[in-house]
Amino acid sequence: MEIKSRLIGVGKLLRKFIFFRPKVSHASLVKGVLLLLIIIIASGIRLMPLRWGFYLNEFDPYFHYYVAKYISENGIMALFSWHDTSGWYPYGRDMRYYANYGLTLTAVALYKLLSFLGIPLVLAPNANPLDPLASDPLYNLCVIFPIIMTALTCIAIYFLGRDLGGDSVGLFAALLLALDIPHSGRTSLGWFDDETIGIFSAILLMLFFVRAIDSKKTLKASIIYAILSGLSLSYLCASWGAARYVIGIVALFTFILLLLKRYSPHLLLSYTITFSITFLTAYINPRAGLGFLLETSNLPVYGVLFLLCLAEMNRRIKRMKMRVLCISTLILVLAAAYVLLVTLGYVKPIGGKFLMTIIPSLRTESPLFESVAEHKPSAWATFYYNFGVGIIFALAGIFFAAQMATNLSILIIIYCLTAIYFASSLIRLNILLSPAICLLWALSLKRIISPLLLSLEERAPSLGRKVRFKPLEKEVIGTLLIIMFIIFSLTYVFGTGFLFGFKATRALDHADIPSTIAGAGLSARPFSVVGDWINTLTWMRENLPSSAVVASWWDYGYWITVVANKTTLADNGTINGTQIARIGEMFMSNETRAIEILKTYNVTHVVVYVTFFNTPYDYISLGGNIYPNDAFMYGGDNGKWIWMALISRVASDRSDAYTKFGNLTLGWSFRDINGNGIIESGEIFPNTGGQSTVLYKLMFYGRDMTLKGYSMINLEYFEKEYFSQNEGSPSPAPGTNIIPLVCVYRVKYE
């Protein structure tokens, strides 16, 4: 009987489980469906590069994949003793100081989980090793990883927006972020880089920290949220150098709350827990360590903590004498500790890259920093192109947020205003501004649209006896709503340029671009895959000996190291400016001097990349002007020679470089003889200094052999090993008249 009753009880439980129907309200169901649609939209936009192939994008993602692969095969502890010599030959690099643990460990953990669950990430195991669909499953995961993080980021900003202004603000913010150009540009298919983790963890930090300092919550809830905010900030610090900025705005936000007399014990407790967890994990991280904790940029954190302690003392100690004594003692101890740390040299200055972001005028002292395209400052037109009419709505959102004056609205205002400065300093950091713009835009949309919708009801809301309010006609309100919808739609369908009568497409057009390696780094968008770099790297992987040492400009270092599996002198980490300068000097020197530099590094091969038009003529006519056939910079080294000259100090400044090597392009100078401002054939003349450089000879020899099948350039110490184009029958990039040519030369020392 007892067994029978137990079986009956189990049966009832199973029946309840099988026929269980979760109770979901209609509103929750609608919000869930809308959020799911937003995630689908965000993922669809970021999957658009798929038609050009399944590749990692840009350069840094290859390094992160390289590290993730090593951790996956050897374990996390092996990373602490990994001295890699595949880059920065012959010195190599200690990878524990350069790897982003947050990004790579997340990818490896997810990969292990999917492998354990038996979810396949490979379609054809015997395919070409460069085809990620049929080779390494971890590579496949790294390619789609940004899409996964985008979905999580949209969910995170929904909850942050909901705390700011309700469900409608959360949904609007998620939709706007899904369509946002700076965010989609750096979270699209293959962009396995810091920003995918960074923006997600920064949003979580703001969400949890503001909840933690809420005095209305219980002490237990406050501690839990503070721990979550500390873990979020730790995750950010382990993933992205921009964590310094987020740390700064949290400290600034807390300081402003003190000025507004909003101190509470919850604030001190949450702040202490958050930064204790963060700095503890940063100390354990070899890339950060004690130096990060005592970096000048982080000193304000300790200063604000000191002010919080003073506020708590002021609250607790009632007697004036005891209050003064305790506060004075604390000040003396902290001042003595600071002086001691500075004297012993423990307080570290801000890193050069971060300092030049804060003070843009300093970057003129570093041509290497200036040479990176994503380090250029943002023009106001850049903001308008990226955010469109959202800029206007965001300004209105700042007004509404200031009116609300909640802790979260104050934080978002601080975040937006500071992010505008850093985004204007560095075009790459426009992605930092994106969440703030989306949140404030969403808030202003709600505040503007809500009264209009309420006015459509039969009875207008009463505003009080003394206020006489005559509601607008329903036709006028409907027209206003339609106009706002049209403006919003046109912004994302046709682009912001419709306001000026021309087309400047936005989200879809911006996302519909190939990965850098599939587009051969061309600034012009091809119709299909451009295989020059892919084919060259494949050839190098399969044909060059394992002992080969390759010299190229640092841009291509990660590709050569990771994809071609060959040793390079420099890569995109730019960790050794002296070695990059030596490479630049080699390229901008004659063959005799270049071979001396190459010999010191035992270089066996040199790689150059040049772009030119598909015509056998040395000159082309465009817009009434005459140009040499390689004068246009579509992504090749013919547009980078100026930085080689400046970084190597072969030229003191641009004017000196143009005088020495050519003011029109490398090897060619222009003199406006008749003063009409038009470049004519008789006004272009060879520049002897430019044409004697190794870079000019290697690029033009390849161009001549590709277009004509012969060249008048005599190479003394270099010999053709592989060209990505066939001699005499070049293949332009599909849909263009541009020929991308990657040249691999063998170095002859005898």
Dist CA 685 CA 739 (whole Å): 24
Which one is predicted more confidently, 633 or 549? 549
Contact yes or no for 272/305 (Cβ under 8 A): yes
pLDDT band per the 50, 70, 90 thresholds, residue 132: very low
- pLDDT digits 0-9 by tens, 367-421: 877 777 777 888 777 887 788 788 888 999 999 999 999 999 999 999 999 999 9
Q: What is the mean pLDDT of residues 158-184?
A: 93
Look at residue 408 in the predicted model and tell me its pLDDT: 96
Which one is predicted more confidently, 316 or 52? 52
Q: Would the pLDDT of 508 be above 90?
A: no
Q: Would the pLDDT of 133 be above 60?
A: no
Which one is predicted more confidently, 53 or 69? 69
SS3 of residue 740 by DSSP = strand
The residue type at 386: N
Look at residue 556 in the predicted model and tell me its pLDDT: 93
pLDDT band per the 50, 70, 90 thresholds, residue 469: very low
Q: What is the mean pLDDT of residues 709-732?
A: 90
Maximal C-alpha separation, the chain: 113
- pLDDT digits 0-9 by tens, 539-573: 999 999 999 999 999 999 999 999 999 999 999 88
Query: Mean pLDDT lowest for which of 268-277, 392-401, 492-501?
Result: 492-501
pLDDT band per the 50, 70, 90 thresholds, residue 10: low
Look at residue 632 in the predicted model and tell me its pLDDT: 63
Joined together, the tokens standing for residue 43 give 């993922």
Query: Mean pLDDT lowest for which of 114-128, 293-307, 365-379, 467-481?
Result: 467-481
Summary mean pLDDT of the chain: 84
Q: Would the pLDDT of 125 be above 60?
A: no
Q: Would the pLDDT of 463 be above 60?
A: no
- Domains of the chain as residue ranges with CATH: 532-747 (3.40.50.12610)
Q: Would the pLDDT of 129 be above 80?
A: no
- pLDDT digits 0-9 by tens, 602-611: 999 999 999 9
Q: Would the pLDDT of 489 be above 90?
A: no
Which one is predicted more confidently, 47 or 363? 47
Q: What is the mean pLDDT of residues 109-114?
A: 93
Query: Mean pLDDT lowest for which of 18-22, 47-51, 195-199?
Result: 18-22
Contacts of 681 (CB under 8 A, 6+ apart): 619, 626
Q: Would the pLDDT of 483 be above 90?
A: no
Which helix (H) or strand (E) segment holds residue 706: the answer is: helix 694-707
Q: What is the mean pLDDT of residues 253-273?
A: 93
Alpha helices in 589-653 (DSSP H): 591-600, 641-647
- pLDDT digits 0-9 by tens, 325-355: 666 777 777 777 767 767 776 777 777 777 7
Q: Is the dihedral of CA 24, 28, 30, 31 positive or negative?
A: negative
Contact yes or no for 413/400 (Cβ under 8 A): no
Look at residue 61 in the predicted model and tell me its pLDDT: 93
- pLDDT digits 0-9 by tens, 647-671: 999 988 888 988 999 888 888 888 8
Joined together, the tokens standing for residue 216 give 């209305």
Look at residue 481 in the predicted model and tell me its pLDDT: 65
Percentage of the chain modeled with pLDDT above 70:
83
Q: What is the mean pLDDT of residues 490-502?
A: 54
The residue type at 179: L
- pLDDT digits 0-9 by tens, 524-540: 888 888 989 999 999 99
- pLDDT digits 0-9 by tens, 24-39: 677 788 888 889 999 9
Q: What is the mean pLDDT of residues 510-525?
A: 84
Look at residue 504 in the predicted model and tell me its pLDDT: 45
Which one is predicted more confidently, 139 or 360? 139
625-628/619-622 β-pairing: antiparallel
Complete DSSP assignment for 431-487: HHHHHHHHHHHHHHHHHHHHHHHHHTSSSPPP--TT----PPPHHHHHHHHHHHHHH
Look up the pTM and report it.
Answer: 0.88
Contacts of 231 (CB under 8 A, 6+ apart): 277
Look at residue 464 in the predicted model and tell me its pLDDT: 46
Look at residue 4 in the predicted model and tell me its pLDDT: 57
- pLDDT digits 0-9 by tens, 353-373: 777 777 877 777 778 777 777
- pLDDT digits 0-9 by tens, 733-750: 888 888 999 999 999 987
Placement of tokens 């909640």 in the chain = 406
Q: What is the mean pLDDT of residues 223-228?
A: 96
Q: Would the pLDDT of 209 be above 90?
A: yes
Report the first-to-last Cα separation within the chain, whole angstroms. Answer: 98
Q: Would the pLDDT of 587 be above 70?
A: yes
pLDDT band per the 50, 70, 90 thresholds, residue 1: low
- Beta strand extents in 515-580 (DSSP E only): 549-551, 567-568
Look at residue 321 in the predicted model and tell me its pLDDT: 65
| Residue environment code for 449-485, b if the CB has 16+ CB neighbours within 10 A, otherwise e | beebeebeeeeeeeeeeeeeeeeeeeeebeeeeeebe
pLDDT band per the 50, 70, 90 thresholds, residue 110: very high
Q: What is the mean pLDDT of residues 163-192?
A: 92
Name all contacts of 88-92 with Cβ < 8 Å and 24+ positions apart: 88/568, 88/569, 88/570, 88/571, 88/573, 88/575, 88/576, 88/579, 89/549, 89/567, 89/568, 89/569, 89/601, 89/602, 90/601, 90/602, 91/576
pLDDT band per the 50, 70, 90 thresholds, residue 292: confident
